[in-house]
Amino acid sequence: MHRRLRLIAILVIISLLAWGASLALAAEPKRGGTLRIAYGNKISHFDFHTAPGYELIMVAMNVGCGLVNVTPDGDFVGDAAESWDVSPDGKSYTFKLRDNVYFHNDTLVTAEAVKFSIDRLMDPATKSGMRRFYEPVDRVEVLDPKTVQVHMKRPYAFFLHMIAGYRTGLVLYSPEATEKYDLDDRKKGKPGAVVGCGPFKFVEWVPNNHFVMDRWEKYHQAGKPYVDRVLIRVIKDPVTQMAAFKAGEVDFIASFSPEHVETLKVQNPDAQILTGPESTPMTAMMKVTKPAPGEKKLSQKRVPHPIFGDVRVRKAVGCYGTDREAIVKIAFKGGATPWVGMISPGAIDSVDVNAMCPYDPERAKALLQEAGYGPDNPLTFQLTTNTEKSVFNINSSCL
């Protein structure tokens, strides 16, 4: 079913580097030191395959490693895999692993570990939110200790994107550590239970307070990472974040609130504020479905929305009736891009179709009137927004 959604590509993950670090950006990176980061939200838990939230994903991409990564330009590069081949029919992917990739418990990353990790993601008992993305995978076969083959049920062009992706990406698990410790141990961050193969190893987690990870000396990319330690502090209040930044207690603030950007610029003129490709693009959208009967408000089990089942209503609200320019100006203080479409600007295959949905309130009213709405029968509906952190809290009064 065709849907016209209200979409804005929000580039307001704002990263802030202390003045000392900003002056060194143009120079060659130097080894050593501690990077201190402020998170606005807490990390839920440390089972990488099941934990929700972008905060955990950011950690998983540093503590964990996968088969491949994707560059900002859309190119695939090897991670634990040094090379890969796709069969002519597109139904088999064969990965050759590097010889020098170690888990943080000093065990080698092998084809068995890759199979173990994918099988775990696909197992319904794991209850991974990523499992649905792996539905096209039929089975994983170990050809030899360094070669693993993934067989698909059908050709699936999205497969490499999926295993390299920000939210769906494959994080390899140590079979030994996973079998030695249970799920509860990983969720609680028990020492030895959280074992990855990325550039940093898990050191300490104090829930709702801080997380520490240290440089992994055996990381397969020689000389990396550059810093010795990363300290992540949970600081929810933007004003407190700014105070810590000004006092030199943190070097980097992830997902800073747009309404405080101008204040921060005044307090810290040398701060680097990143809102483009260096940051994490996000998309704000209006979901035009409703929970299935008997399901909770945020349930994944959805059914078509009775109001937005009418294409005229969808066009009136999500196309002509949405002033994207005003939302960007008011809600995001100019730190976003007005956009129509599912793919954020600057991403691969992104197409600017903004001209298809100009802000035209009179046309929107005419469509609503045609659909049977007006002064005697006003259109009403409820928007559910994430209010845990202000950067995600869209000012719906702009509609």
* Residue 91 pLDDT exceeds 90: yes
pLDDT, tens digit (0-9, with 9 covering 90-100), for 313-340 = 999 998 999 998 988 888 777 777 888 8
Q: Are 267 and 246 in contact (CB under 8 A)?
A: yes
Amino acid at position 24, single letter: A
Long-range contacts formed by 352-361: CB under 8 A, 24+ apart: 354/324, 356/319, 357/4, 357/318, 357/319, 357/320, 357/322, 358/320, 359/320, 359/321, 359/322, 359/323, 359/324, 359/325, 360/320, 361/320, 361/321
DSSP 187-208: HTT-TTT----SSEEEEEEETT
Report the percent of the chain where pLDDT is more than 90. 47
Where b means 16+ CB within 10 Å and e means fewer, 273-293 reads: bbbeeebbbbbbebebebeee
* Residue 381 pLDDT exceeds 70: yes
* Residue 19 pLDDT exceeds 50: no
Cα distance between residue 399 and residue 387, in whole Å? 18
Between these two residues, 285 and 235, which has the higher pLDDT value?
A: 235
The set of residues, in sequence order, having a beta carbon less than 8 Å from that of 289 and lying 6+ positions away, is 302, 303, 304, 305
Q: Are 66 and 172 in contact (CB under 8 A)?
A: yes
Domain 54-177 classification at class level:
alpha beta
Q: Are 116 and 174 in contact (CB under 8 A)?
A: no
Cα distance between residue 38 and residue 55, in whole Å? 11
pLDDT, tens digit (0-9, with 9 covering 90-100), for 125-174 = 999 888 989 999 999 999 999 999 999 999 998 899 889 976 667 999 99
Q: Are 242 and 261 in contact (CB under 8 A)?
A: no
Place of tokens 């405080």: 260
What does the radius of gyration of the chain's CA atoms come to, in whole angstroms?
Answer: 23
Cα distance between residue 107 and residue 337, in whole Å? 45
- What are the distances in angstroms from CA 143 to CA 41, 93, 94, 103? 42, 12, 9, 21
User: If you average pLDDT over every residue of the chain, what do you get?
Assistant: 83
pLDDT of res. 14: 28
pLDDT of res. 398: 38
pLDDT, tens digit (0-9, with 9 covering 90-100), for 219-235 = 999 999 999 999 999 99
pLDDT, tens digit (0-9, with 9 covering 90-100), for 178-207 = 999 998 998 888 889 999 999 999 999 999
DSSP bridge partners of 302: 291
Cα distance between residue 69 and residue 79, in whole Å? 6
Domain range summary for the chain, segments of one domain joined by +: 54-177, 283-397
pTM over 0.85: no
